[in-house]
Amino acid sequence: MELPAEEAGHCIRVLRMREGDRIRLTDGKGCFYHAVISAVSGRRCMVHVSGCEPQMPLWRGHLHIALAPTKLLERNEWFVEKAVEIGVDEITFLRTEHSEREVMKMERIVKIAVSAMKQSQKATLPVLNGMVSFRSFVERRFEGDRFIAHCENGCKENLKDVVIPGHDALVLIGPEGDFSPSEIDIALKAGFRPVSLGPSRLRTETAALVAVHIMNLAGQSGG
């Protein structure tokens, strides 16, 4: 088989690999593949795949984070990179009343996620969803535990105390101006539980990453 152009270029020009060298590939769907470079011609690289090695799940449950992206694109990209490195199954970008950004260029987001997946030696690429309206998203059917992290006063439990190991979990993170009162009300009526991420006031991307880490740790515990 022939490697995609970008991967072939990295393999030949950056890693300086040649015919006969062994490499490990992933399909982003849960499997690693053992392969040997069979031919190099210009910018093209052919490989012979000799075996498949499924990667066992690194955590239990489906971990889903949905956030309103920040105005600065690099902060959103930083979040995606780190979330994939830590471990998450799905990321969705929300369009909210106080959103600072209305459009996300998903092509670059996907490239960053692929790079983070390979760097952290994972074989599964998270599902990456482009912008969706808050209302339509929270009204969707979701099998699992649903949480909304917001800054309004009220009774809120800490996320780390309510995430159940092994359960599917979805956490909503709002924009810098937080979710609007009406959005919080919509989420609560849809069955989302209000949660806190701790006493510190966090930036959107930091809050989202804290939520990912808490869910990931819960998914790894309990054997």
* pLDDT tens sequence across 143-177: 899 999 998 888 899 999 999 999 999 999 999 99
Mean of the per-residue pLDDT values of the chain: 92
Share of the chain above pLDDT 70, in %: 99
Q: Put residue 187 in one of left, alpha, beta given phi > 0 → left and psi -120 to 50 → alpha.
A: alpha
pLDDT reported for residue 6: 77
Contacts for 202 with CB less than 8 Å, ≥ 6 apart: 210
Q: What is the pLDDT of residue 22?
A: 86
Q: Is the pLDDT of residue 23 over 90?
A: no
The answer to whether 117 and 26 are in contact (CB under 8 A) is yes
* Over residues 8-35, mean pLDDT: 84
Whether the pLDDT of residue 68 is over 60: the answer is yes
Q: Could you give the CA distance from residue 36 to residue 164 in angstroms, rounded to a whole number?
A: 43
pLDDT reported for residue 65: 98
The pLDDT score that the predictor gives to residue 221 is: 57
- The residue-averaged pLDDT of 46-68 equals 93
- Cα–Cα distances (Å) from 147 to 109, 156, 189, in that order, read 24, 10, 12
- Residue in 83, 93, 91, 171 with CA at minimum distance from that of residue 122: 83
Instruction: Find the mean pLDDT for residues 72-98.
Output: 97
The pLDDT tens digits of the residues spanning 171-204 come to: 999 999 999 999 999 999 999 999 999 999 899 9
More confident residue, 109 or 201: 109
Residue 111's contacts (CB-CB under 8 Å, 6 or more residues apart) are none
Query: Which domains occur in the chain, in start order?
Result: 5-54 (2.40.240.20), 63-220 (3.40.1280.10)
- Supply the pLDDT for residue 115: 94
Q: Which residues pair with 48 in a beta bridge?
A: 36
User: What b-and-e string marks burial along 187-205, b requiring 16 or more CB atoms within 10 Å of the CB?
Assistant: beeeebebbbbeeeebebb
Please state, for a pLDDT cut of 90, what percent of the chain lies above it: 72
- Longest CA–CA span in the chain (Å) reads 64
**pTM of the predicted model over 0.95:** no
Looking at residue 223, its pLDDT comes to 44
